[in-house]
Amino acid sequence: MKIGRRLQQIEQMVEKQYDHIWDCCCDHGLLGFNLLKAQVAQTIHFVDIVPDLLVQIEKTLQRHWLGAEQTWLVHCLDAGKLPIRQFSIKPETDKHLIIIAGIGGELLIELMQSLLPVCANYHVEFILCPVHHNYKLRQFLIDNQLGLLNECLVFENSRSYEILHLSPASSQPLSAVGSIMWDLTDPLHLNYLDKTIKHYQRIAKNPNAHVKSIINQYQQLR
């Protein structure tokens, strides 16, 4: 099933096998379907809070993947309440990947605030792709000691997306403004950086906004 560049990049960042992959806020399930096809997990979990979407996803799964070697499950629930404990039969070795994409950074922070305490006792990695508030999200993740596995910039339909692959077990520090995702020989990357700086420069016109440090961090990338 054809998917856009953003979901393609997320799929490419799943580079190893997991016991469970949780495709949260899964919309129409396109990413999860591709992950099932790629056979990268024992179980793919489709998670969304919209019942009608999940009904359609389950119909597609029953049509194409009924009896497949890789199992799948559909969950209608808040992504902040994933039943990780219930699906960790071997807590010492079971590997989970939680993918959350297509929502704002502030909502993502709320979900992570709920998830991180639950995931602390298990082997859990995260792939996160917010639609905005990237700096705020990154700062929250740094404060909660998540390390970087990979990150990239993706451009799709005149929009820019930062995708982060993270793990509490990674010793590579996460940068609040990004590190390995930047290719400043690429005009698209340069344009995104300039737009980000200008965004915070507009915010800085408010005397109550304390964003000078943020602007400096982005400018230093140049």
CATH number of the domain within which 162 lies: 3.40.50.150
Same domain? 166 vs 189: no
Span 76-100, average pLDDT? 94
DSSP string, 28-70: TSHHHHHHHHHT-EEEEEEEES-HHHHHHHHHHHHHHSTT-SS
Same domain? 132 vs 208: no
Q: Are 83 and 98 in contact (CB under 8 A)?
A: no
Q: How many domains does the chain have?
A: 2
* pLDDT(26) > 90: no
Same domain? 203 vs 139: no
Model pTM above 0.75 = yes
Question: Which structural domain range is residue 58 located in?
Answer: 5-181
Same domain? 108 vs 25: yes
Q: Are 96 and 119 in contact (CB under 8 A)?
A: yes
Same domain? 203 vs 150: no
- The type of residue at 214 is I
Same domain? 124 vs 48: yes
- Taking only the tens place, the pLDDT of each residue in 142-163 is 999 999 999 999 999 999 999 9
Same domain? 32 vs 15: yes
